[in-house]
Amino acid sequence: MVIKNIAVIMAMMDEAKPLIDNLILTEQFDMFHKQLPFKVFTGKIDNLNVDLIWNGIDSKYNVDNVATQPATLATYLAITNLNPDIIISAGTAGGVAKRGAEIGDIYLSCGVFRYHDRRIPYTNFPEYGVGSYPSVDVSSIARDLNFKLGEVSTGNSLELIERDFEIIESHQSVVKDMEAAAIAWVCRLLGIPMFAVKAIVDLLDGEKATHEQFSEYLSLGSSNLKQAIIDVIAYCKGKTVADLALPR
């Protein structure tokens, strides 16, 4: 089936606004329950319908709804209300420099999504805690648009403790974010293909603190992410999900 409806799920308005403005996406009201914070912006690229779901602002803390909890609900709402053919988890992220990540890089997900901070050392729970949720094979997009491929590891903290990094290392993940595995979990349950597009704004093994790098490079990452998403969506025009992988 040719891809006709694409949903892009984003946590922060700083990341989403450049894309909303460039594609002239229009906010849709009354899409979800009025007490929920999630916002939907819609538009078209040629004959493709694009829905951007922003996780909104937390009414108590007045900050963007980042991390896995809102991402899970946003994904469920997107699937049940918008009927996407494919979902993209888009945002800024950290990268592992010794595996080739550099500030400003665009990574597409490959392999599986895992968690690095869900440690449940009891009977059969350790593997459940880490998880293993598939990414669509988008190797043809990476090749043709000159993006990098890497496995994504998800956690609920911006900063990284030593044990988190050890787990990321053990899986040879390259990208660290705060939403993708949660989105992938819902997509696996409901049978919707998904992948991630992430712009690197901090290096996990860099010399500066994560929050300092994030503040310094958020604007650059959001700009690079905007163009990457535009290019990726355009690439999907007239293609099936299977077409996004390299021929074997």
Active-site positions read: 15, 202
Give CA–CA dist 177/194, Å, rounded.
Answer: 15
What torsion, rounded to 10 degrees, do the Cα atoms 16, 17, 23, 26 define? 100
Q: Copy the structure tokens of residue 46.
A: 């040629």
Count other C-beta atoms under 10 Å from residue 40's C-beta. Answer: 22
**Of residues 91, 97, 198, the one with CA closest to residue 142:** 198
